[in-house]
Chains A and B, each alone.
Chain A
């Protein structure tokens, strides 16, 4: 059965995030938030990377169950992690844990349960800062992602299939990305095909469409193309989507259209779920 391989130090899987860093990302995100799209995506992705780190912490160690990378596309197509991880395509999660740009401390005031309030310090590691410059060379980035994932598959042929999540607010400016997307999805480990998910970041107030199961009903040709570029959700993610109150079927794709900040966060959470039963 595909998507059932164990995820362990000896058989890790990989998560690769493709991040639109074009100029339009500096516009405000839809859904009433005052943040720019670039800010919102950087914040969500930094938070997600932290969640992935925490899933692999074991006592005082971090088990390298995941290798993680972020590729940016805008003025250039290049790895987007900074600091000691600058230039790296995929890094074992233990290195990611040790290498944020900085760890911010956010102070929240919370009820102390006795009628007063106490300050609670929450640590927020930052691996990369928002960027918005240049066009949207999505095709080139998908091709680059295919090379990175191919190299990972050579080293880990029996891995739980790698997951690639592409976050963008607009159409590719370097051609039709469907062929590059298909090439990426055609790559496979012994446990199944590489998963490619697409998140279209909203610039308007329209409601987000999350994990649709068919092209019919999508608002335009661009949305339908992104739908076709996206893989179907494997079982652990369908379960997570249902737990989040979304309706999904076996045909549902890893695709969100017009995602506001809440939808991006929800998508990343559901899209990176793996069955803990596969954890070693």
Chain B
């Protein structure tokens, strides 16, 4: 019910890897202020048709009925949809084999209700809570050194290994008015944690981005500057900012 939800504002930013075109961007994001649900996903670059899968995942999370998002029971329809969209395409034999393997992506979703938030993560896309300009919570990874391992992924084919039970992480907490939540795919999340470890206050960088007259237009340059000067890894970048 809408009365249970906080009033919030949200912004989403994204940019492809340097050297890639916008249609090669394989992250995805979705949000619905009315239901208080937001998600990002990062398609694995070693699989095929991952951009479509990442998009179906975030949309599926945000649209899942009632509390079903807390489990992964809602994955059936997005998996079916991916197969319906992708399987009929005529492909060369080697591309058929790769399609058969399915597409893989991380997923990070968060749901806000009155006073509370809950999050679910598969893989290394991260959530940060900022309170009073300070980094206070990081989920599921907490140190920049935690990146770089093969992250858990959700697969589009629905075989047992495509929903890695051990890879699902959950957390919850209380939010206060004035809190800011950030959802970031791995390259940006790693950069934020590293800057935080170096006492460089990455939350201030986000403030400055949002204070730009047209932050959407500035985002790609904001990312590129950090790739050049601050070791932000060249990868698709997605950032969702939720202000409560």
Contact = CB atoms under 8 A, between A and B. Distances in A.
Interface of A: 6, 8-10, 50, 53-55, 57-62, 97-98, 103, 123, 125, 275-277, 279-280
Contact of A57 (B17, B94, B148, B234): B94
A276 B151 CA distance: 11
B153 to A, nearest CB: 11
Interface in B195-244: 233-234
B48 interface: yes
Contacts of B93: 103, 123, 125
Given A58-B48, A280-B17, 16 more contacts: A8-B19, A9-B19, A10-B19, A53-B94, A54-B94, A57-B48, A57-B97, A59-B48, A60-B89, A60-B92, A97-B92, A97-B94, A125-B93, A276-B46, A280-B45, A280-B234
B1 interface: no
Nearest to B96: A123
Given A8-B19, A97-B94, A279 B233 contact: no
Interface of A is mostly: mixed
Contact of B148 (A10, A59, A61, A277): A277
A59 B46 contact: no
16 contacts: A8-B19, A10-B19, A53-B94, A54-B94, A60-B95, A62-B95, A97-B94, A123-B97, A125-B93, A276-B44, A276-B45, A277-B148, A280-B17, A280-B19, A280-B45, A280-B234
Contacts of A60: 89, 91-92, 95
Given A6-B234, A10-B19, A60-B89, A279 B45 contact: yes
A18 B79 CA distance: 43
B81 interface: no
A33 B42 CA distance: 43
A54 B97 contact: yes
Contacts of A57: 48, 94-95, 97-98
Contacts of A8: 19
Contacts of A50: 94
B165 to A, nearest CB: 19
B49 interface: yes
Contacts of B20: 280
Interface of B is mostly: loop
Interface residues of B, number: 21
A54 B45 contact: no
Contacts of B46: 55, 276, 279
A60 to B, nearest CB: 5
A277 B233 contact: yes
A57 B47 CA distance: 8
B3 interface: no
A53 B94 CA distance: 8
A280 B234 CA distance: 9
A280 B95 CA distance: 18
B166 interface: no
B71 interface: no
Interface string B42-70: 00111011000000000000000000000
Nearest to B233: A277
Contacts of B48: 57-59
A54 B19 contact: no
User: Across chains A and B, which 8 residue pairs bring their CB atoms closest together, nearest first?
Assistant: A57-B98, A279-B45, A97-B94, A276-B46, A60-B95, A57-B95, A60-B91, A54-B98
A280 B26 CA distance: 11
Contacts of B233: 277
Interface in B95-122: 95, 97-98, 101
B158 to A, nearest CB: 13
A280 B93 CA distance: 23
B160 to A, nearest CB: 12
Nearest to B148: A277
